[in-house]
Amino acid sequence: MKSRAVIEREAANARETAGQHSIPVDPIAIALAHGAEIVEDNFADDLSGILIRRGSLKTIAINQKDSLVRRRFTIAHECGHLILAHEGEIFVDKQVVNRRSATSSLAIDEQEIEANQFAASLLMPRDEVVSHLDQLSKSCSQRSALIELMARSFGVSKKAMEYRLVNLGLVASPDDDDF
Ligand SMILES: [Zn+2]
């Protein structure tokens, strides 16, 4: 399992390669800069995305029925599989953010966890998160509203932003209060 620091650095390098220096980060630009094409498809509701990697062919397919923030996160997640050089030719991702599969092997779960960490790091760069939180918290003190404002700024779901803020130790876990 790659360390969080390695994944943060890979995400920063990926943004640099694609010339993505401001938020919201464009995951499509990241995918294109790494040689992947993006297609939208009419998948079953619980299928978020597929990455196919065969030789020089790299295709990310995303569910056109998903919301914009979910499609953005899915593309970032598939970029994670690609850029972290995960094993496999085809990755099929269902409900990417909260994916917990008891039937997958440990190795596959590790790749999924890494891809999710990569996606969060890619779309919510730590330094940007810290500075935006600092700015926004001057005018907004209510936890839920603050997370919503942050989520909008970064083009991610509230849930994804909340995970990121908790993981970075910037807000308390929801278990710590009655939120
Ligand atoms: Zn995946």
User: What integer pLDDT is reported at residue 148 of this predicted model?
Assistant: 97
User: What integer pLDDT is reported at residue 99 of this predicted model?
Assistant: 46
User: What integer pLDDT is reported at residue 95 of this predicted model?
Assistant: 72
pTM over 0.95: no
Q: How many angstroms is it from 127 CA to the middle of ligand 1? A: 25
List pLDDT tens digits, range 21-33.
999 999 999 999 9
User: What integer pLDDT is reported at residue 173 of this predicted model?
Assistant: 86
pLDDT category at 141 given cuts 50, 70, 90 is: confident
Measured N-to-C along each axis, helices 126-139 and 143-154 cross at an angle, to the nearest 10 degrees, of 130
Q: How many angstroms is it from 76 CA to the middle of ligand 1? A: 10
Q: What is the CA radius of gyration of the chain?
A: 16
Q: How many angstroms is it from 83 CA to the middle of ligand 1? A: 12
